[in-house]
Amino acid sequence: MTSKIQNPLCVDLDGTLIKTDSLWESLLVLLRQNIWLSFLLPLWLLKGKAYFKHQIAQHVTLEVATLPYRESVLTFLHEEKIQGRSLVLATAAHQTIAQAVAAHLNLFDFVLASDANTNMKSTTKRDTLKQRFGVYSYIGDSKADLPILQAAKEAFLVTPSRNLLKQAQCPPDNVFSEPKPKWQTWLKALRPHQWVKNVLIFLPLVLAHQVLESSQLVEALLAFIAFSLAASSGYVLNDLLDLAADRTHPTKRYRPFAAGLLSIPAGLALFVALVSLSFLISLGWLSSGFTGMLALYLLLTMTYSFYLKQKLILDVLVLAGLYTLRILAGGIAVTVEISSWLLAFSMFIFISLAFLKRYVELLQLSDKKTLKNRSYELGDIEMVASMGPTSGFLAILVFSLYIDSDKVSMLYTSPFLLWLICPILLYWIIRIWFLAHRGHMLDDPVLFALTDSVSWFACGCIIMFMLLAKFF
């Protein structure tokens, strides 16, 4: 795809040169850094789109080096540059963003962008290009680019809709095509493997030995679905707020939003849909107490995404608390009392796993000194490695004390068999920390456990010994 016409080649930024929208990206950075400024957004917008963009640009510095650039478009621009073509970045994005992109790529001879008074979009961009260059070629991607494309000497389109392709009358050779997101991409954004955490909702029912009660089982299942939808909404929001950090991560950069496979507006719509469906299920079929726990869970996850994840130790405590909250919600959903033993055990074991997650992230820092959007430094790794296993050992201690409690003798025929679970838990905790120390642990402990045969075997043994203690 090489042009033979040597008039200036003007390139749009949002959706064309990059797979995302710089304004939406800036808005998310603004919300993450100072959510209180969001109350000023309507006032800024009332003064016009140009003023709106200008004010956001004054409060946010977008990390242009991490943006998901379209490799096919970049390759084409490099080829045109080698042939002596003059390249122009013509974008409705604010000039500070456009200048930063141009400086990062070192490709463009001119930059035309929005400022405090002018929104460089649609007919305004077209008239500016005609006035500045007379004859020009243009690469765009949206309906707003149509007037510019129709006035261009040569038109190029990036992932256009059929209607835009027809209206722009763009030759097939001038189209940069990319596959549309498949349903698997949307499913990946929900992180369904994380739903296994919500199995904790069934734990109160199992430990109370009432799992065969059909009505309670149905309620637990509905609670599981509602919590899974709410959890996915939290993951979507977290991914949107962590775009820049995820793009510098060795594995997280492949997540749908970080990679630019799904747009930010689509992510926000998905977040609203998941939250709405979750509460519809809860309000329609479950108790008001469970709905309150669901609301508390969402509040904590949003607070974590916006603020608490950047706070030392608090982030770990909140992550562990979210696991424990699932157990509490499960007990409320099926009207089963939660013992203090279970709450203490769960808090310590999940603190261990939360520290494990941070430990793996610190190991991946290499030449960096601090975790991005976190308060942990490379020098903290020994402290994390100390507190993580210790928390796991405390969980086993709590379980040991529970075995000797009066409640166990009422629930189990042979409670002494439960002692066999302790060495299994001890082995599993020591093993995962050894694997993490050797660099063999995924940055997601849950995903590791799901793909680890030893973890599955340990879980099977624990279930077997619980059944033996109950019936023999």
| Residue 4 included in any domain | no
Q: CATH number of the domain that 250 lies in? A: 1.10.600
Residue 268 predicted with pLDDT over 50: yes
Q: What is the model's pLDDT at position 308?
A: 85
Q: Give residue 2's pLDDT.
A: 46
Query: Considering 123, 142, 176, which residue would you say is the last residue of a domain?
Result: 176
Q: Model confidence over 192-216: pLDDT tens digits?
A: 999 999 999 999 998 888 877 788 9
Residue 286 counted as domain residue: yes
Instruction: Domain count for the chain, please give it.
Output: 2
pLDDT the model gives residue 208: 85
138-145: list long-range contacts, CB under 8 Å, 24+ apart.
Answer: 138/9, 138/10, 138/11, 138/12, 138/90, 139/9, 139/10, 139/11, 139/12, 139/16, 139/17, 139/73, 139/176, 140/12, 140/16, 141/12, 141/15, 141/16, 142/12, 142/15, 144/92, 145/12
Task: Say yes or no: 343 and 406 in one domain.
Answer: yes
Contact predicate 170/150, CB 8 Å: no
pLDDT tens-digit readout, 37-71: 989 999 999 999 999 999 999 999 999 999 999 99
| pLDDT exceeds cutoff 90 at 83 | yes
Is residue 454 domain-resident? yes
Q: Give the pLDDT of residue 309.
A: 84
Q: How far apart are CA 306 and CA 31, in angstroms?
A: 8
Distance CA 455, CA 431 (A): 10
- Structure-token pair, residue 422: 């302790």
Note down the domain range covering 434. Answer: 183-471
| 0.85 exceeded by pTM | yes
Same domain for 151 and 191: no
351: left (phi over 0), alpha (psi -120 to 50) or beta: alpha
Q: Which of 176, 210, 245 is the last residue of a domain?
A: 176
Looking at residue 450, what is its pLDDT?
83
pLDDT confidence of residue 207? 87
